[in-house]
Amino acid sequence: MSTDPVASLLGLDRLIHEPGRLVLMALLAPVESADFLFLLRQTGMTKGNLSSHLMRLEEGGYVAVEKTYQGRTPQTIYRVTEPGRAAWEEYQRRLRRFVQSSGPLLRPVPEPG
């Protein structure tokens, strides 16, 4: 793996990097599972937007979905898969590496003259 901070940033997982999916991974990674309504309340997304992001994460193999009932009420539960957890950890490593080493990259350029 490259130690170049720009390469670390360019190598970020684009499936996770989109802001809506980034928030979802940050919410799901530290817990065993979460239901749709919890994620809806926490993110402030619309139902359609949330569903779309969760579907993309599921299609990427990062999130597993379980449809159950709580009494007579349908409940959809989401959890991060092992590949999803590995991708999340790698995403964090790359972002952390970029932030920690980007000081020289972000120095102001002197104005000519």
Task: Determine the Cα–Cα distance for residues 78 and 81; give it in Å rounded to an integer.
Answer: 9
Token code pair at residue 22? 């980034």
H/E segment holding residue 72: none
State if pTM tops 0.95: no
Closest Cα partner for 75 from 36, 39, 44?
36
- Sequence letter at residue 73: T
DSSP label at 104?
G
pLDDT digit string (tens) for 35-50?
Answer: 999 999 999 999 999 9
Q: Which architecture does CATH list for 5-102?
A: Orthogonal Bundle (1.10)
Bridge partners (DSSP) listed for residue 68: 75
Domain ranges for the chain, please list them: 5-102
pLDDT digit string (tens) for 87-113?
Answer: 999 999 998 888 887 666 566 667 776
